[in-house]
Amino acid sequence: MRTKVVIVGAGPAGLMLGRLLDLAGIENLILERKSADYVLGRIRAGVLEQGAVDLMDRAQVSERLHEEGLIHDGTVLSFDGDSHRIDFAQLVGRRVTVYGQTEVTRDLMDARQGQTIYEAEDVQLHDFDGKPYVTWRKDGVSHRVDCDYIAGCDGYHGASRASVPQDAIKTFERIYPFGWLGILVDKPPVAHELIYAHHERGFALCSQRSPTRSRYYVQVANSEKVEDWSDDRFWDELRRRLDPATAEAMQTGESLEKSIAPLRSFVAEPLRFGRLFLAGDAAHIVPPTGAKGLNLAMSDVAMLADALIEFYGETSTAGLDFYSAKALSRIWKAERFSWWMTSLLHVFPDSGDFGRRIQRAEFDYLTGSVAAQQSLAENYTGLPQ
């Protein structure tokens, strides 16, 4: 079996890359370890930058997004109960769209023309410095596909980055001493926009998926187990971290999903190893506080798709040669912003009273400075490609 591009992973990065290549007539094969239902069942991101919406338009998969996506002109930040609205539209003339990653994934799966092999076990990448090929097993049978290029879109725990020799890759990492416990509930959101709240008991976030479905998070220690969090305990903790009016107005209910996600900052350099390219969470992780992970995955694959289209159209490798440097420049800026939002809004067990005063001063500076708010709005709504 032979194809032009093998894409490892059918998350949003792999599916979007496959779609862009399909539209350009470049044959590709997606290999995914899990089933399609499993991929759709993962509840993750909720906020799309305009660049990601534009990419969905380009990929001709945005009909439902424009019908159902919620356009937000701003967001609310609160610190120990003092709230301040950041008006993105007024500050930088841009907005974000609330549309779940599950929906993005579903739209891309529905539009898929090329072949996707789900439940591909033991995917292995071979000879990507020479004549690349990929092997896997399905239903006990071994398979092999030869290709020109491999796109590693298989997330943080995938096979692609792991197959690169250690001395060819450098990684940068920060692990935070806490995670996010998230809950999904069929109740209307407590507020029209998202609320990011710093509280002495820890960070809390009020997010949403639709006018009838809400997503809430609280910061928890890394040692916490999801089994120890009944819905009641979650709602009590969340209410304590919000200002009294919001806590009072919040509609609670039985959770549809509840999980803990650890927080991490991570970047691998470079993103190219011969004929293998890394994109999305396979290449980098951001803590979710800046709502950047899915958006970065989208901008990576937009750059990679353009480079591959240039290669097959004009037989120029200029785009492929430049991909790593170009993507990393944008990635590091999103890493910085996500780290900064995380530092401002969470309680760090070791930062002490000095650290808390600095966080408060940062919040007061932000609420008193249009320049600081513009910086936040510019980054949150998305830096240019």
> Which residues make Cβ contacts (< 8 Å) with residue 59, sequence separation at least 6?
16, 19, 20, 23, 108, 111
CB 329 within 8 A of CB 299: no
Among ligand PHB, ligand RFL, none, partner that 289 touches (CB below 5 to 8 angstroms by kind): ligand PHB
Of these, 289, 295, 299, 381, which contacts ligand PHB (CB under 6 A)?
289
Asked if 288 touches ligand PHB (CB under 6 A), the answer is yes
Cis preceding-peptide flag for 189 (omega within 30 of 0): no
| Cβ 41 to ligand RFL shortest distance, Å | 11
Task: Give the three-state DSSP class for 265.
Answer: strand
Burial class (CB in 10 A: 0-12, 13-18, 19+), 244: exposed
User: Which one-letter amino acid corresponds to residue 273?
Assistant: F
Nearest 10 degrees: CA dihedral of 237, 240, 244, 247? 0
Which C-beta is closer to ligand RFL: that of 156 or that of 312?
A: 156
Residues 252 and 165: their CA atoms lie apart, in Å, by 49
Q: Near ligand PHB by CB under 6 A, which window of 131-139, 169-177, 287-295, 320-328?
A: 287-295
Residue with smaller CB distance to ligand PHB, 101 or 252: 101
Residue 36-75 contact track with ligand PHB, rule CB under 6 A, x = bound: ---------xxx----------------------------
Q: Which of 12, 189, 202, 382 binds ligand RFL (CB under 6 A)?
A: 12
Interface positions, 269-298, toward ligand RFL (CB under 6 A): 280-281, 288, 291-295, 297
Which strand ranges, in their side-by-side order, compose the sheet holding 141-146? Answer: 121-126, 133-138, 141-146
Tokens found for residue 335: 């890493």
Residues with catalytic function: 72, 196, 288, 292, 380
6 binds, among ligand PHB, ligand RFL, none (CB under 5 to 8 A by kind): none
Q: Tell me, by CB under 6 A, how many residues bind ligand RFL.
A: 37
Secondary element (H or E) of residue 217: strand 213-221
342 binds, among ligand PHB, ligand RFL, none (CB under 5 to 8 A by kind): none
Residue 13 contact, options ligand RFL, ligand PHB, none, Cβ 5-8 Å cut-off depending on partner type: ligand RFL
- Residues composing the chain: 385
Residue nearest to ligand PHB (CB): 46
Q: Find which of ligand PHB, ligand RFL, none residue 215 binds, CB within 5 to 8 Å per kind.
A: ligand PHB
Q: Residue 87: which residues within 8 A CB-CB, separation 6 or more?
A: 73, 74, 373, 377
Site mask, ligand RFL, residues 139-158, x = CB under 6 A?
--------------xxx-xx
Question: What token pair was written down for 123?
Answer: 């995917």
Binding footprint of ligand RFL on the chain (CB under 6 A) = 8-14, 31-34, 39, 44-47, 101, 120, 123, 153-155, 157-159, 180, 182, 261, 280-281, 288, 291-295, 297
